[in-house]
Structure 1
Amino acid sequence: MRIFSAPRSSSPSSFFDSRPRTPRISIVIPTRNEARNLEVILTTLPPVHEVIIVDGHSVDGTLDTAHRVLPSAITLTQTRRGKGNALSCGFERATGDIIVMFDADGSADAREIPRFVDSLTAGADFAKGSRFRAGGGSEDITRLRTAGNAVLSGIANILLRARFTDLCYGYNAFWRDILPILDLPAAGEPAPHLMNWGDGFEIETLLNCRVARAGIVVEEVPSIELNRIHGVSNLNAVSDGLRVLRTILVETRRRYQPPAVIAEVEPGSALAA
């Protein structure tokens, strides 16, 4: 593990000093047609303050499965489209002190959650999973994706003056009190055919760019990415790599001119994934 962002003395708000020693944990799980995977992953989660499942208009009984397997879970339907919007909806609903981002496909290992929490209670503001730190790894990543991740991490490090080892990984945890400085798109009223900047898969890179710029303490946590349990990944090494590159460039410029990108999305289009 390595703290690679600004030291604690430069944290932008004094409320960082009043965090509880025994924090309440909220796990936020974005889902879309993941009923078969929820059957498995929900049984692996540790006892926490709350589990929030945000559904992206599934048609396979995802929410019914969630209610059956984990009756205590809080379930929501996201307001727009995309993984980023699902996460934002979950973040707004969360009441815990720490929020854990947890994928529904089985790639995240619930046994690692204490490792992320320990990093945060030891002084980090944002705990970022890394498959390329000692102790990390992946059962799923290809050579092409590994090379692409290295290139994109290098570009982000130069432009943001960071030291990421794994930019393109979405297993993260953070103190809920940093949400205001992340400035994510609000969940808002239901508008299922709209996407704002940050509503799509760019959310993970966007978060990493914003925490790197925010002057908070970011610590990389070794993590092992597991294989998806059921179904096929929607990731495409080329198109998603270009999306990550665009996110880095937009977020680097954002300090000078915040983007206001709102796109109408037709059902079934690539952006609607």
Structure 2
Amino acid sequence: MKQSLSIILPCHNESTSLSVVLEKLTYLYPDAELIVVDDASDDNSADIAETTGAKVIRHPYNMGNGAAIKSGARAASGDILVFMDADGQHHPEDISRLLAEIDAGYDMAIGARSAQTQASFARKLANGFYNKLASWVVGQKIADLTSGFRAVRASKFKAFLYLLPNTFSYPTTITMAFFRAGYSLKYVPIHAGQRQGKSHIKLFNDGVRFLLIIFKIGTLYAPLKLFGPISLLNFLMGLFYYAYTYFTDGRFTNMGALLFTTALLIFLIGLVSEQITSLLYSEKMH
């Protein structure tokens, strides 16, 4: 049975590229449901989308990229959801490659950008670090943790909407949620084009948010993999400090006790987080 398709484009001031992207999508997928989520644009992006026949959802104020994704997913009626940027970076011609992996049985297919197509050296460095960290946590190679170009089975994606943040870190959250739930993912190499217009990512503000991704990776998939090494480090510091004070002063100091106590508390936090995470996903799987 042929599955219906919804293509969702979060949009904020993308009037320079939106019409071209929508024209290509309409030509390639005339039967698909096109949804443009206008996140309180200052330009005429929403009007452009309406003239092409796309379904337009307007946010009353700027709520964030992740919020636009959630609004689009809630409004979508398709069995398969495709998420892509409206700024021209993602090529509509690559959608067929993602859908082919869904047809092959994968639950989510993600467009993995090559290092040469990253927007800047700083972003390339950060994404490389996130990819390696996430790969270590899940025990599988993750080619592009933060890519927003993906196709996914609607029923499984919508089950995790409550987890998704309203910011640009939504791809990380949904990727780790799928891994934790035991769903299958496939990365498809793509070439991301040069975006039209100005980037909406603020280097400092979103850089701080992206640092929180490190903790989100651990807490969404395997908390003890994150808290365990930190606890062990504190324990070893306490052990070495105790050995030092014992041989120099012949006593056990308050600092040594503090390090041992901190190690125990961090481990217990990780253990409780692990149990909470297990309960969270067990409820969603039933």
Name 1:62's counterpart in structure 2: 45
- Partners of 1:156 and 1:242 lie apart in 2 by 18
Specify the alignment match of 2:55 in structure 1. 74
- Structure (1/2) with the larger strand percentage: 1
Q: Secondary structure at the match of 1:120?
A: helix
Contact 1:107–1:228 under 8 Å retained in 2: yes
Q: 2:268 maps to what in 1?
A: none
Match of 2:136 among 158, 166, 184: 158
The answer to whether the Cα contact below 8 Å between 1:27 and 1:99 also exists between their aligned partners in 2 is yes
Does structure 1 residue 104 correspond to structure 2 residue 100?
A: no
Inter-CA distance 165–139: structure 2 relative to 1 (3 Å threshold): closer
AA matched with 1:161: G
Q: In the TM superposition, what is the alpha-carbon distance from 1:179 to its structure 2 partner?
A: 2.3
Kindly tell me: are residues 120 and 79 of structure 1, through their superposed partners in 2, closer, same or farther at Cα, counting changes over 3 Å?
farther
- Unpaired stretches in structure 1, ≥5 consecutive residues: 1-19, 186-196, 259-273
Q: How does 1:37-186 map to 2 (within 5 A)?
A: 37-45=17-25, 46-47=28-29, 48-68=31-51, 70-71=52-53, 73-78=54-59, 81-132=63-114, 138-184=116-162
Between structure 1 and structure 2, the one with the greater Rg is: 2
Residue 218 in structure 1 maps to residue 185 in structure 2: yes
Larger RCO, structures 1/2 (Cα 8 Å, 6+ apart): 1
Q: Kindly indicate whether residue 170 of structure 2 is the aligned counterpart of residue 206 of structure 1.
A: no
Amino acid of the residue matched to residue 66 of structure 1?
Answer: A
1:245 counterpart = 2:211: yes
Q: Is contact 1:138–1:225 with CA below 8 Å preserved after alignment?
A: no
| Alpha-carbon offset, residue 250 of structure 1 | 2.6
Inter-partner Cα distance in structure 2 for 1:238 and 1:163 = 28
CA-based RMSD: 2.1
CA positional deviation for 1:184:
3.0
Cα contact 1:101–1:172 (8 A) shared by 2: yes
Q: List gaps (5 residues or longer) in structure 2.
A: 222-272, 278-286
Q: What is the number of equivalent residue pairs in this alignment?
A: 220
Aligned equivalent of 1:268: none
The alignment-based identity, stated in percent, is 28
Secondary structure, counterpart of 2:57 in structure 1: strand
Q: Secondary structure at the match of 1:58?
A: coil
Q: Per residue, is there more helix in 1 or in 2?
A: 2
